[in-house]
Amino acid sequence: MYNRATPAQLYAGLIGMLLVAAGITGMFYESEFTSDVVVRDSAFGILEVNGWHNLIHIVTGGLGLVALALGAGAARVYALTLGVVYVVVGFVGIGFVLGEDNSIFSVVPVNTEDNVLHLLLGLLGMVAGAASPERGEPRLA
């Protein structure tokens, strides 16, 4: 018999890889780091990106991959934490707690598509974390 991955481990691995890939891809669209003027470009003509936004995706995705390597308990903490953070970020974007230039704190550019994606990733993380065993007990097939 073998242990199957928990929902949180699947989330940490898949979303971790997705976020790292999105951050790296975004750097090809816009990689400038500024704090006085929000520089942006639209990745695939849909999602707003800049160097800061891409770096956040690379770091949060990398943390997911580290959590996956550390085991089920770490993956659960990652899924729940990232879930809450991304839901808050989504609501911040939707609630227009933004700079005048449609950016969060006048640094990270966002648009409606970003906000919806952040909410979905956040909700998925909270569900994956809640659906996983609290102590990472092994699951037998």
Residue 140 banded pLDDT, cuts 50, 70, 90 = very low
135 inside domain: no
Rounded Cα distance between 55 and 16, Å, is: 13
For tokens 């990398």, what's the residue? 62
pLDDT digits (tens, 9 = 90+) for 46-63: 677 888 889 999 999 999
Please name which of 60, 59, 76, 58 lies closest in space to residue 68, comparing C-alpha atoms. 76
Whether residue 140 is contained in a domain is answered as no
> 10-25 pLDDT, tens per residue?
999 999 999 999 999 9
Q: Look at residue 47 and tell me if it is in a domain.
A: yes
Give me the pLDDT at residue 3, please: 72
pLDDT tens sequence across 77-122? 999 999 999 999 988 887 755 556 677 776 777 888 888 999 999 9
pTM of the predicted structure, to 2 decimals: 0.84
Rounded Cα gap, residues 65 and 60, in angstroms: 9
Domain count, the chain: 1
Q: Which domain holds residue 26?
A: 7-130
